[in-house]
Amino acid sequence: MAEKAFLDWRTEVAKYVKFQSTYNAVVDAEVKEVVRDFCRDTGVWTITLTRISTVADTSAYTLTVPSTDGAAEICYIDHVQYKEDGADDDQFRPLTPFTREEADLYENGAWAFHVSTDPYKFYSNADKQLILYPIPTTASTNGLLVRVAVRPTDAATGCSPNIYIDYKKAIAVGTAAALMNMPNKPWSNAEMGAFYQGQYLSRQDEAYQNVKLMNTKAKQQVNIPWAGGSRQRRRVY
């Protein structure tokens, strides 16, 4: 499925912010930033990567995002499953995320050198590589099944069309908030910017819940908003 261009949001954004065509580039840039933040904070865009073969005594694996729906980069690793070499697909088992708090419990950094026949946890480094823990001493052909949450790259011109289909208005309202909070622009309006920001965050919460519930009608849990001063809300996963 081809990507959906950011410029396709202009008509929707124009319902909230009146701008001349000379500002199209500004609007398109803000749409992209809102989409990037929206994907990061909600996890609405996930991709299951091509299966990875593990190598004995190797813990780090570079993750490659396909360009099926446009240029995308990894926000975070959403889910990892592992199976022993030669095992059937129904033998995949989930690996548990390894947290910084857990790592700090180990003295002198020795945890980074722990080995085992198979890994049972994972974490990621600054380069978004997948790091297996402990270091596996055996190989497994196509033994890793990895799902990642992604967002458009800074150089992208579009995103997955499903984001437009499902969250067109949410992105438009978020863009309106960002535009109105800009100083010294024809449309600048801090009061309306705050109003649209509130609407955007509500829609972001709904999207986050939909992801958690896998787009079903299962009972939703109460989501306690995070209070902070950044332009967009940052969730902790």
Q: What does the domain layout of the chain look like in residue ranges?
A: 4-44+160-212, 46-151
pLDDT (0 to 100) of residue 235: 43
SS3 26: helix
Cα distance between the two ends of the chain: 29
- Is the Cα torsion angle 99, 101, 104, 106 positive or negative in sign? negative
Task: Please check whether residue 150 is in contact with residue 49, taking contact to mean a CB–CB distance below 8 angstroms.
Answer: no
pLDDT in tens, 180-211: 999 999 999 999 999 999 999 999 999 999 99
Task: Please check whether residue 13 is in contact with residue 175, taking contact to mean a CB–CB distance below 8 angstroms.
Answer: yes
* Single-letter residue type at 59: S
Task: Please check whether residue 40 is in contact with residue 236, taking contact to mean a CB–CB distance below 8 angstroms.
Answer: no
Question: How many distinct helices (H) and strands (E) make up the chain?
Answer: 5, 13
Q: Determine if the peptide bond prior to 186 is cis (ω within 30°).
A: no
Task: Please check whether residue 77 is in contact with residue 130, taking contact to mean a CB–CB distance below 8 angstroms.
Answer: yes
pLDDT at 234 > cutoff 80: no
CA dist 144 to 2, 27, 66, 112, 122, Å? 27, 40, 17, 20, 11
Structure tokens at 124: 């990621």
Task: Please check whether residue 67 is in contact with residue 56, taking contact to mean a CB–CB distance below 8 angstroms.
Answer: no
Task: Please check whether residue 83 is in contact with residue 59, taking contact to mean a CB–CB distance below 8 angstroms.
Answer: no
State the pLDDT confidence band at 219, using cuts at 50, 70 and 90: low
| Backbone torsions φ then ψ of 78, nearest 5 degrees | -85, -40
pLDDT in tens, 89-145: 999 999 999 998 888 887 677 898 999 999 999 999 999 999 999 999 999 999 999
pLDDT at 32 > cutoff 60: yes
Q: Cα–Cα distance between 106 and 102 in angstroms, integer?
A: 7
Q: Cα–Cα distance between 166 and 150 in angstroms, integer?
A: 16
pLDDT (0 to 100) of residue 1: 56
